[in-house]
């Protein structure tokens, strides 16, 4: 039985509709990330699942039961907030035990559950402390502990790592993933960081402007994005986009007459197209497409190049060390079958021979 099902869910604040019909199925035990740019409605969707926001239209069900009119406390969900929202006047143990206390569990049982969860998260030494005496990372852990201790049917995370520094974020990412492997609780994880989404999720839901753009595994989104938005959003650095048209030789050519590819998907010649190529799929190729080097940024393992191709800025990431200097011209090529073609007007991807 699926864990969480959203059916054509809509949300209006006043007259203004912000979520325009979202449908998605989240399987029992699945780890799903909800990703999208700021303001696209991720938090709103999550809060509707939690019951903190009413649903204007459509339905949400958790474990087979429609929960539209049900209060948050009766939905068997736990939520971790971006701000953590730890109660400042309660100790770590009291914070973690609060929901169990609300459920009327006996004190001994609460203590045992809190202790066990604290053990999982390495929080035992801090149980008697108040939140203000904890570091950011420890607070984050307490916020997770507060969710875990209840053993809910669904975990909801709203950008839980965005207040941590980069190193801790990477560490917590692994820990949350690990925890999910152990607990196997259905999880909806909201983030605007696509790397977080890619590395953590079994399934990603890409949201844009209150609509789902695409649902798929991280690699599906990476390899076969349905449109230009998803293509540009998933992957870092983001995909390069080059305006082009079909040429007489059956390939693609830029508006300045620069030949880009030898093949192209079938279609009318006057259709404005966009060629999408990821930075990591660009290679050095003698006799290839000439580009002017704008900037060279070696990071050790790889080299990031900012190039200009027919007047369009292009980013390339090379595994090899590149000795180019700004102002010089280099010649590049695209790895076979690595590029995508999009219709400029609709933004939709046009399948090529390779995919």
Partner 1 sequence: MPKSLLRKFFAYGVIAIALVLTFYPVAWMLSASLKESGEIFTTPVFSSGSAGLGNYVSAFAEYPFFLYLLNSVFASLVSVLVTVLLGALAGYSFAKFRYGLSTVFWIVVLVSLMIPLEAVVIPLFLEVHSFGWTNTYAGLVLPTAFNVVGIFIFRQAFVALPDDYIDAARVDGAGELRILFSVILPMVLPTVVVVSVLTFNLNWNSYLWPLVVTSDDGLRTLPLGMAAFQAGYNTQYGEVMAVSVFGTLPTAVFFLALQRYFVEGTISTGVK
Which residue ranges make up the site for ligand ATP (CB under 6 A)?
Answer: 13, 18, 36, 38-44, 192
Site for Mg ion in 14-53 (CB under 5 A): 43
Residue 47 touches partner 1, criterion: CB under 8 A: yes
Residue 62 contacts partner 1 per CB under 8 A: no
Tell me if 157 sits within 8 A of 189, measured CB to CB: yes
Q: Which stretch binds partner 1 (CB under 8 A): 46-54, 180-188, 199-207, 249-257?
A: 46-54
Question: Is the CB of 164 or the CB of 291 nearer to partner 1?
Answer: 164
Residue 103 CB, shortest distance to partner 1, in Å, is 6
Nearest Cα residue to 154 out of 49, 65, 69: 49
- Residue 138 near Mg ion by CB under 5 A: no
List, in order, residues 6 or more apart from 272 with CB less than 8 Å away.
Answer: 243, 245, 343, 344, 345
Distance CA 338, CA 138 (A): 43
* Segments in the chain forming alpha helices (H): 42-50, 92-102, 107-121, 136-148, 166-183, 194-200, 218-223, 228-233
Regarding 107 and contact with partner 1 (CB under 8 A), the answer is no
By CB under 8 A, is residue 133 in contact with partner 1? no
- Count CA atoms closer than 13 A to 86's CA, side-chain side: 30
Q: What is the distance between the alpha carbons of residues 342 and 276, in angstroms, rounded to a whole number?
A: 7
| 244 binds partner 1, rule: CB under 8 A | no
For residues 2 and 93, give the distance between their C-alpha atoms in angstroms, rounded to a whole number: 33
- Least distance CB 315 / ligand ATP (angstroms): 24
Nearer to partner 1, 74 or 270 (CB): 74
Closest to partner 1 by CB, 98 or 339:
98
Residue 200: which of 219, 174, 167 has the closest Cα? 174
Chain residues binding partner 1 by CB under 8 A are 47, 50-52, 71-73, 77-79, 81-83, 85, 87-89, 98-99, 102-103, 146
């Amino acid at each position: 039985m699926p864990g969480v099902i959203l059916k054509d869910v809509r949300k209006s604040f006043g007259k203004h509709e912000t979520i325009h019909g979202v449908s998605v199925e989240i399987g029992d035990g699945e780890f799903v990330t909800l990703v999208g740019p700021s303001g696209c409605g991720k938090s709103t969707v999550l809060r509707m699942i939690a019951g903190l926001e009413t649903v204007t239209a459509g339905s949400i069900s958790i474990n087979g039961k429609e929960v539209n009119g049900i209060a948050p406390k009766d939905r068997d969900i736990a939520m971790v907030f971006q701000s953590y929202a730890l109660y400042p006047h309660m100790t770590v143990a009291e914070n973690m035990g609060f929901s169990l206390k609300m459920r009327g569990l006996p004190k001994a049982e609460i203590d045992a559950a809190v202790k066990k969860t604290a053990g999982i998260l390495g929080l035992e030494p801090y149980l008697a402390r108040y939140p203000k005496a904890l570091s950011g990372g420890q607070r984050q852990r307490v916020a997770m502990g507060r969710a875990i201790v209840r053993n809910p049917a669904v975990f909801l995370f709203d950008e839980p790592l965005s207040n941590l520094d980069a190193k801790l974020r990477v560490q917590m990412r692994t820990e949350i993933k690990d925890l999910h492997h152990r607990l196997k609780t259905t999880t909806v994880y909201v983030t605007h960081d696509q790397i977080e989404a890619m590395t953590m999720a079994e399934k990603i839901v890409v949201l844009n402007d209150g609509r789902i753009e695409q649902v798929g595994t991280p690699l599906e989104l990476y390899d076969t994005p349905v449109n230009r938005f998803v293509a540009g959003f998933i992957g870092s650095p983001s995909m390069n986009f080059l305006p082009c048209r079909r040429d007489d030789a059956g390939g693609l050519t830029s508006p300045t007459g620069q030949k880009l590819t030898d093949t192209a998907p079938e279609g009318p010649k006057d259709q404005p197209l966009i060629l999408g190529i990821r930075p990591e799929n660009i290679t050095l190729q003698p006799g290839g497409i000439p580009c002017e080097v704008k900037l060279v940024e070696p990071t050790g393992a790889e080299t990031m190049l900012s190039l200009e191709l027919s007047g369009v800025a292009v980013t390339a990431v090379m595994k090899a060390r590149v000795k180019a200097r700004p102002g010089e011209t280099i010649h590049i090529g695209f790895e076979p079958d690595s590029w995508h073609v999009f219709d400029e007007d609709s933004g939709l991807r046009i399948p090529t021979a390779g995919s």
